[in-house]
């Protein structure tokens, strides 16, 4: 019997994001539900219709970083790319940030929670991470519920981080400390 990979769950496994994933990611990243919340590097427009080349360049930028990791979220059943996830610790592995995007065609199946749980376990059990951060726009109610279900705590906001529907919006920052994650993890 083979031991389960650190990056595997019941529904998904995470593998390294590859340039060849660009068409699969492009197929869902232009979905209207993901406008403004694409989470594939800050150089990629959050709003414009994307070309496959735009996505390929964004992936190239992400996978060439030394201070982070980028994953394709693979549905185990069909071995299909159904999302992407990014870790970024910059110069400080003590306080990385994390983002998860699931194709809208696969929402409400627990894919995002399973993916985030895998990454939190990796960060807290296999790296020096002391606190993990996340961020989302204040209009993104789905992200707020997602962060809450993962036991993240609101840490504040960056006011007027962008414009949507003619009005400025804030970016909400959330965090979870290792001891909080351990406590929830033990209780689960």
By C-beta, is 79 or 165 nearer to another protein? Answer: 165
How far apart, in whole angstroms, are the C-alpha atoms of residue 138 and residue 156? Answer: 11
Q: Which of 27, 63, 113, 177 binds another protein (CB under 8 A)?
A: 177
Q: What is the DSSP letter of 164?
A: E
Maximal C-alpha separation, the chain? 57
The rounded distance, in Å, linking the Cα atoms of 118 and 56 is 25
List binders of another protein among 38-67 (CB under 8 A).
none
Segment contacting another protein by CB under 8 A, of 9-17, 33-41, 89-97, 117-125: 89-97
Tokens of 12: 């998904």
Measuring CA to CA, which residue among 181, 179, 163 is closest to residue 171? Answer: 163
- Least distance from another protein to the Cβ atom of residue 108, Å: 30
Residues 154-173 that bind another protein (CB under 8 A): 155-163, 166-168, 170, 173
Residues near another protein, by CB under 8 A: 91-92, 94-95, 130-131, 133, 153, 155-163, 166-168, 170, 173, 175, 177
């Amino acid at each position: 019997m083979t031991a389960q990979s650190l990056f595997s769950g019941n529904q998904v496994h995470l593998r390294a994001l590859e340039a060849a994933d660009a068409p699969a990611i492009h197929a869902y990243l232009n979905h209207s539900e993901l406008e403004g919340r694409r989470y594939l590097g800050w150089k990629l427009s959050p709003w414009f219709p994307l070309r496959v080349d735009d996505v390929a360049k964004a992936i190239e930028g992400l996978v060439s970083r030394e201070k982070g990791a980028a994953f394709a979220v693979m549905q185990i059943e069909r071995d299909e790319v159904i999302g992407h996830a990014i870790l970024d610790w910059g110069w400080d592995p003590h306080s990385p940030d994390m983002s998860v995007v699931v194709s809208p065609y696969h929402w409400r199946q627990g894919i995002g929670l399973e993916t985030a749980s895998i990454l939190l376990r990796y960060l807290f059990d296999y790296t020096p991470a002391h606190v993990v951060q996340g961020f989302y726009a204040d209009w993104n109610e789905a992200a707020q519920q997602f962060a809450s279900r993962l036991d993240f705590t609101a840490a504040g906001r960056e006011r007027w981080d962008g414009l949507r529907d003619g009005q400025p919006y804030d970016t909400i920052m959330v965090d979870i400390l290792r001891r909080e994650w351990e406590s929830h993890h033990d209780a689960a």
